[in-house]
Amino acid sequence: MEKVLPKLKDAGCDLYILLSHTSIDESKRLGGKFPLFDLVVTAGSAGEPSHRLEPIEGSKGQLVQIGTKGMYVSVVGVYEEGDRFRLQRAPLDGRFKDSRDMLDLMAAYQQQLEAVGLEGLGVKPLPHPSGRTFVGSETCADCHYDEYQIWKETPHAHGTDSIVHPAERSEIPRHHDPECLSCHVTGWNPQEYYPYKSGYLSLEKTRAMTQMGCENCHGPGSHHVAAENGELDEADKYREEMVLTLKEARDTCLQCHDLDNSPAFHMEGAFEKYWERVKH
């Protein structure tokens, strides 16, 4: 940067912008260290980008956040009078059609994920915090047949199918992408994007763990099943562990139905509406 700055100054530009592909704190540090820049655009923001320009200490520069996952465009207007810069945050929502170029890029990315595989990405199964393992929804059906039939009629029962053969927006398969798998199969951490031991690994290796199964909400059922089969004592205890209160169900739903992936789920009354489709 020190070698480039003299050339930038000699150019006598009207506006100096630093594109900083790092954390917010590091972007602020760079803006303070190199006060020539009027705007520092940082890729390090978490979630939604700020809707305001942020002054950078020790510099005339201001910080522009763009958020994550390409969900927003941060538009900066430059004016001769009044405030020189004004920021408007625009969500890339359903008002905009998908770009063919971006879809092609997405397809290439998914193909790369398939070629590398979970191991190549460093994604390894970890033990579930409860110490239990997953048994699959078909096992649950042995005793909970009525509840299983209700589940079969919900979108959850086709959760993996929906990323193998997407029906909306594009035909690009996404069942090699940890960010998609985490909420579309059984036995993954929904927010950290890794599988638990005995959870889904692939369509070929772990067919019983496809779809968004019973255990994604109720927790892994190995101890409950073993107790009901007489292999463990305290069957009542393990039955109770599998029960969800309505509040617990709401909190569990939000692990996958977060603002990034399911904004409509956060509207007033949405949980009650969705619950009617899956209650049992």
Q: Residue 111 — pLDDT band, cuts 50, 70, 90?
A: very high
152-176 pLDDT, tens digit each: 999 999 999 999 999 877 889 999 9
pLDDT in tens, 119-140: 999 999 999 999 999 999 999 9
Domains (ranges, CATH) in the chain?
A: 5-91 (no CATH), 122-243 (1.10.1130.10)
Selection from 17, 40, 15 nearest residue 28 by Cα: 40
Residue 40 near residue 20 (C-beta atoms within 8 A): yes
Mean pLDDT over the full length of the chain: 93
| 279: exposed, middle or buried (Cβ count in 10 Å: 0-12, 13-18, 19+) | exposed
Q: How confident is the model at residue 15 (pLDDT cuts 50, 70, 90)?
A: very high
By the 8 A CB rule, do 209 and 186 touch?
A: yes
* Strand ordering across the sheet containing 62-65: 17-20, 39-42, 62-65, 54-55
Residue 182's region, left for phi above 0, alpha for psi from -120 to 50, else beta, is alpha
* CA-closest candidate to residue 191, choices 104, 234, 248, 253: 253
Give me the pLDDT at residue 250, please.
Answer: 93
Average pLDDT over residues 44-54: 83
Residues 6+ positions from 61 with CB-CB distance below 8 Å: 18, 31, 35, 37, 38, 39, 40
pLDDT tens digits for range 228-267: 999 999 999 999 999 999 999 999 999 999 988 888 899 9
Amino acid letter for position 3: K
Q: Are 106 and 170 in contact (CB under 8 A)?
A: yes
